[in-house]
Amino acid sequence: MLASLRYLAGTAGPSGFGSRATADEVVSSAAGQGDGGDLGHITAIVTGATSGIGAETARALARRGARLVVPARSLKAAHEARARLLDGGPSDPGRIVVLPGLDLSSLASVRRFASRFLALGLPLNLLINNAGQFVERLGLTEDGAETTFATNYLGHFLLTRLLLPKMADTARDTGVQGRVVNVSSTVHAWFSSSSGTGDDDEDDGPIIGYLNRLTSKQTPYDATRAYALSKLANVLHTRALADRLREMDVNVTANCVHPGIVRTRLIRDRAGIITNTVFFLASKLLKTVPQAAATTCYAAVHPAVAGVSGKYFADCNEASPSRLASSGEEASRLWSFSEGITAKEKENESVLVTSFRFQVQNSNADRGMAVA
């Protein structure tokens, strides 16, 4: 009850921020406490940066000088996002790099994207796994995974694994701590150990057991439950990743965030009389997009989060995830399951590293930027 009242009032928590803080406020505070008063020393990848919370997160970071790498499924979307970021953003257009062709539902696409990014020779301080999708009907990807799970979690799991060595090297070479931020949701708590139907195999556990029944069509597809499961997986990924980062003794942390409820495109795409009415009645409880991006920015760049790893944040303050999301056993089980799915030999790339670098330089140079 107290937390709800604090949310409604926008009362600041221990961090100094609350539910009404905006991304600009958080980033300005973080930059003001850093050397030089800006984020020029940061190179970040933000998935889902072409719209919604991801776009606002990228804008707030770019406005303070961070170099942004913008992935997108299409070249058009990537360049439109770049144009928006340059409007009122960095004076140097070379600080915004577009890399089209990332489809998180395809493991092959994730591998290609990671190879293309690494070919550019850029450092990497910050990886924000933000992109998300709500799928109405059961679908299986080319890798045999349920589409929501693949897009919201599995693609990000592989992307993080492929880019982690670069993040560790960057942190070692620059002395700047690397950060991985997974964007989850309070909806993760809607999936519990009793969410599935039928008995779970003891070795599988509730998540993998449910996924197995879902992909084999032994249980009816529930879009909301599938979405909740994917967001639960984001929290568990964070916990397991933080443990492994400590074991590796690298200067990289991992945290996850609940941005808050906001009417982004993900929800607008499901608009109808009922949805519109609910959001009209609840409008005073919703966050604006700038407010929703605040917690992501807090976990990404604020000095107060330095050295903090494996935590869950809401309204720019540390919070408690669900009981299942706090299970070390379930986190370990999901990690092993995910490694098994993604542990394929890296496929041959049709574009040579030097050829791809030349193509990206020319594409961006046409729009007034150079890849540095």
Q: Which of 138, 150, 287, 273 is nearest to 215 (CA)?
A: 138
The secondary structure of residue 150, as a DSSP letter, is I
Q: What is the per-residue pLDDT for 8?
A: 53
- 69 touches 44 (CB < 8 A): yes
The secondary structure of residue 123, as a DSSP letter, is -
Mark 125-144 as b/e (b = at least 16 C-beta within 10 Å).
bbbbbbbbbbbeebeebebe
- 206 touches 324 (CB < 8 A): yes
- 181 touches 129 (CB < 8 A): yes
For the segment 187-193, the average pLDDT, to the nearest whole number, is: 91
Q: What is the per-residue pLDDT for 193?
A: 73
d(CA 286, CA 292): 9
* Span 298-332, pLDDT tens digits: 999 999 999 999 999 999 999 999 999 999 999 99
Question: Encoding tokens for residue 139?
Answer: 């679908």
* Span 15-74, pLDDT tens digits: 999 999 999 999 999 876 644 458 999 999 999 999 999 999 999 999 999 999 999 888
CA-based end-to-end distance of the chain: 51
Q: What is the per-residue pLDDT for 188?
A: 97
Strand order in the sheet with 317-319: 96-100, 67-72, 43-46, 126-129, 178-183, 252-258, 312-314, 317-319
The CATH number assigned to the domain with range 32-185+192-343 reads: 3.40.50.720
pLDDT at 350 over 50: no
| Position with higher pLDDT, 151 vs 202 | 151
d(CA 244, CA 176): 19
Q: Where are the domains of the chain?
A: 32-185+192-343
Q: What is the per-residue pLDDT for 284?
A: 55
| Position with higher pLDDT, 79 vs 181 | 181
| Position with higher pLDDT, 289 vs 6 | 289
Q: What is the per-residue pLDDT for 306?
A: 97
Indicate whether this model's pTM tops 0.75.
yes
Residues 6+ apart with CB under 8 A from 338: 153, 154, 157, 158, 237
Among all residues, which ones are annotated catalytic? 221
> DSSP secondary structure string, 258-326?
E------HHHHTT-SHHHHHHHHHTGGGSPPHHHHTHHHHHHHH-GGGTT--S-EEETTEEE---TGGG
